[in-house]
Amino acid sequence: MSILLAAPAPKSRSIPRGRLALLGIGGFALLAGLTGALVLLGVGLPSSVGRLAGLHGELMTLGFLGTVVALERAVALGQAWGYLAPALSGAGAVGLIAGVPAVGGAGILGGALTLLAIYAAFARRERSLQLGVQAAGAGAWVGAAALLLAGVPVASAYPWLAAFLVTTVIGERLDLARLGGLATRARRQLIVALWLFALGIAVALVEPEAGTRTAGVAMLAIAVWLARHDLARRTVRMGGVTRYIAVCLLAGYAWLAVAGAAWALTGTAPGSAYDIRLHTLFLGFIVSMVFGHAPVIVPSVLRVPLPYWRGNDLALALLHAGLLVRIVGGDILGVPNGLLVGGVLNVLAMLAFVAVSFASSVVELRRRTAIAARRAAANPS
């Protein structure tokens, strides 16, 4: 479920067990992070999982997404040492869940540093805008992991978590949508917006209010740029999986614009404003990107098909409906249980997405196996 461009899948049809195991660890971090989300929402769960509430943000962004991003980059690199990145971040996530925060934080930081080494290896092959943006994302992951390991709370470190994911997505879109060949003016506009974003994230360390507002302006500019230049504006008119991916992207860009406006207008205001800043970005934008790119990335990483089902549309609709209930109903209007209902719908959306993806892959694999068996029976050697 990576949100980066993967290398072409090898011709072998066997599922690589090592990659599957690493993805499974990322999935374990996802489930733990979602459990922490339910605890934060006030859902009655056993007291034994209560401590996952404090790990929710780190598990979702670095334990889950960090591991799968690192796994995809390791596959693209094609060298055994690259798999140390997802292995370390995955082990770090397990350490956090097991209640060993020092070991967990060190593992996640080690995964980030190894990912930087992967980008250095890529840079020796070629240099491009998209590669530089992706490498900047890995640098932001290093910064976020170091801050969390030093004891900085997620409420203060989240701009760096945001920088990791936002720049990773932008670099991926430059790859997947073939935006690297844009006109000079368009490239400069994006570069200026990215530098402004980086400036805001850096300033937020010493002047959180000014830095957050600056980063918000930059995110708003990036959202407008993506909506204007991404191929999704045209492919949304097509059908099937192509349209589904485009809808995910365009909806995500809309939420990125909302997040940018929220960051710019509310700065570091607590309470509902904080909830809006976080979840319009991490749920509305980032999770939409994950949903949209899984049909492209998962087959490259695991060598398994991930066909489009209508259930994908249901999961996507549930995600955005839940976020609207949470933000508009709970945060803005103060509707009783608005946060709870919206948050639970978001958790269900992600679980539904995983379930639909797994079921569609299994059904397609069985279909292909049956076809191969019939062909073998009709043409015995």
The DSSP string of 346-371 is HHHHHHHHHHHHHHHHHHHHHHHHHH
> Which pLDDT score is estimated for 170?
93
104 within a domain of the structure (yes/no): yes
Whether 380 has a pLDDT exceeding 90, the answer reads: no
Round the CA-based radius of gyration of the chain to a whole number and report it.
20
Whether 140 has a pLDDT exceeding 80, the answer reads: yes
Mean pLDDT on 240-261? 95
> Which pLDDT score is estimated for 297?
85
Mean pLDDT on 255-277? 97
> Which pLDDT score is estimated for 4?
41
> Which pLDDT score is estimated for 168?
95
Whether 2 has a pLDDT exceeding 50, the answer reads: no
44 within a domain of the structure (yes/no): yes
> Which pLDDT score is estimated for 179?
55
Least trusted range by pLDDT, from 214-223, 311-320, 361-370: 361-370
Cβ–Cβ < 8 Å for 37, 56 = yes
> Which pLDDT score is estimated for 291?
95
> Which pLDDT score is estimated for 3?
39
75 within a domain of the structure (yes/no): yes
> Which pLDDT score is estimated for 13?
59
User: Per the structure, how many domains does the chain have?
Assistant: 1
Cα–Cα distance, 85 to 144 (Å, whole number): 16
Mean pLDDT on 334-355? 95
Mean pLDDT on 218-243? 90
* CA 290 centroid distance within chain: 5
Least trusted range by pLDDT, from 86-90, 208-212, 242-246, 315-319: 242-246
Whether 10 has a pLDDT exceeding 80, the answer reads: no
> Which pLDDT score is estimated for 248?
95
Measured between its terminal Cα atoms, the distance across the chain in Å is 39
Least trusted range by pLDDT, from 91-100, 183-192, 324-333: 183-192
Mean pLDDT on 190-211? 95
Residue 233, number of CB atoms within 10 A of its CB: 15
Percent of the chain exceeding pLDDT 70 equals 94
> Which pLDDT score is estimated for 350?
96
Give the burial class of 364: count Cβ atoms within 10 A of its Cβ; 0-12 exposed, 13-18 middle, 19 or more buried: middle
Percent of the chain exceeding pLDDT 90 equals 69
Query: What is the extent of the structural domain holding 118?
Result: 18-127
Cα–Cα distance, 292 to 68 (Å, whole number): 15
Average pLDDT value over all residues in the chain: 90
Alpha helices in the chain (DSSP H): 17-41, 56-58, 67-77, 84-97, 101-125, 129-149, 154-176, 184-203, 208-229, 232-235, 240-266, 272-279, 288-302, 310-324, 338-378
Least trusted range by pLDDT, from 107-116, 163-172, 238-247, 367-376: 367-376
Whether 357 has a pLDDT exceeding 60, the answer reads: yes
Cα–Cα distance, 5 to 267 (Å, whole number): 33
pLDDT digits (tens, 9 = 90+) for 306-318: 888 888 999 999 9
Least trusted range by pLDDT, from 77-86, 132-141, 372-381: 372-381
This prediction has a pTM of: 0.90
